Amino acid sequence: MKRIEYNFLHWGPFTCHYKLDKDEIDSLRKLKEKDDWNDVLAGHLNHEKSLDRIEVFKVLAPYYESYVKGYHDYRKVPLGDGIELKSAWINRQKKNEFNPPHTHDDDLSFVAYTEIPDGLEEECRSSVSSSPGPGCIVFDFNLPGTSKANQLMLQTHAHLPEVGDLFIFPASLPHWVYPFKTTEGERVSISGNLQIKHDSQKK
């Protein structure tokens, strides 16, 4: 049989999935919450508060650096000259609360999960639907065209978060979070927006 060589063309949104270690999770859990941010965030959640972005940066900086390196490997071009964390906040999602489809400001965004309520995985796995289950986060890179034309393109990624999951993704990538209906407790996530620095921005 003839061996056919090929190269995969890398394109689409560069989204990275990481796993935080126990110490990093514990550090994020100890962060002090600050001002209410319900009026500046898209979520239909009662508890959304700002965090000290410097303290968040101390914990997650190695992952931001990893993203920059990964982008260079992926695109073969550098991703600016550094990254600055512009904002950070905490979401405490309870049953029937949700985040509608939205995008973020700045260049990159992230979400890290520090608490997942008992029973959420069972609720998600037992749901019967053609769409992602309760509690899932969905990233959607939708393209115009017919379903037949798009069947060769992976446009949506859905994930039921676990404690320690961290996603870094383009801020302009639409995403949303499905509500859960029966599980008690809180699904706690920490999010933020990052700006890519360039030489002209350095002082």
| DSSP secondary structure string for all residues of 71-119 | HHHHHSS--TT-EEEEEEEEEEE-TT-BEEEE--SSSEEEEEEEE--TT
Distance of CA 61 to the CA centre of its chain: 15
| DSSP secondary structure string for all residues of 7-18 | -PPP-S---EEE
pLDDT at 129: 79
Strand partners, 111: 167, 191
Q: So what's the architecture of 16-201 in CATH?
A: Sandwich (2.60)
pLDDT at 150: 67
What is the full per-residue pLDDT of the chain (203 aa) written as tens digits? 899 988 888 888 999 999 999 999 999 999 999 999 999 999 999 999 999 999 999 999 999 999 999 999 998 899 998 899 999 999 999 999 999 999 999 999 999 999 999 999 999 988 877 788 999 999 998 776 666 666 778 888 999 999 999 999 999 999 999 999 999 999 999 999 999 998 765 54
Tell me the domain boundaries of the chain: 16-201
- Cβ atoms of 176 and 104 within 8 Å: the answer is no
Strand partners, 18: 166
Which structure tokens are listed for 99? 């985040």
pTM, full prediction: 0.91
- Cβ atoms of 196 and 50 within 8 Å: the answer is no
* C-alpha to C-alpha distances, 2 to 5, 80, nearest whole angstrom: 10, 42
